[in-house]
A and B are shown apart, each in its own frame.
Chain A
């Protein structure tokens, strides 16, 4: 079974430019997460989707970040315009919904963004 797929793996842009990341979750996983991870730190949740609905976007900087998950499958995360401080690894994860309260998150390899 294919895992979570992300592209691109690496992206280098100049500040003030736009950038977009794409994620394809594990087939059948209706919950999708976008995280930002700085070196040596744990991932920071940016947004969580249940199907098409963003159910937690409290940590998403909405002035420059946007995300969408059309049709409840693939998702894109966009930054416009990018700032130097946005340099980080952007991780996508997915999980199954359930009633057990434990829904293991499966992570993609991430996109490493460098803003110059």
Chain B
């Protein structure tokens, strides 16, 4: 299953299928991007990040793709499991001097995994 941008806030997939969550970011000068997962009643949890000098990064069952030309970020989850059900946020870090630069968060996409 695949979501298209931030205009489709809910993605429903079958357990075992691959999921793709998309995000359009705003600032072409942003140099760092993060995906967070937020389960109901919990704070956001870091999943994976990518710097602007890369276009792909893989983690355990997750892959982040970055297309700077069109300012697009995606999160791919392989073999989606019920525990993956959550709201997923992308965040970009502004290109300002200093550490801990402010994160700019996108709207969330709700992922529902059907057993």
Contacts and interface: CB of A to CB of B under 8 A. Distances in A.
Interface in B81-115: 87, 89, 91, 99-103, 105-108, 110
B5 interface: no
A101 interface: yes
A114 to B, nearest CB: 14
A48 B44 CA distance: 17
Contact of A42 (B9, B101, B108): B108
A40 B87 contact: yes
Nearest to A4: B43
B76 to A, nearest CB: 20
Given A41-B107, A108-B43, A99 B89 contact: no
12 contacts: A40-B110, A42-B89, A42-B91, A42-B105, A91-B43, A91-B44, A93-B43, A95-B100, A97-B100, A100-B99, A105-B103, A110-B42
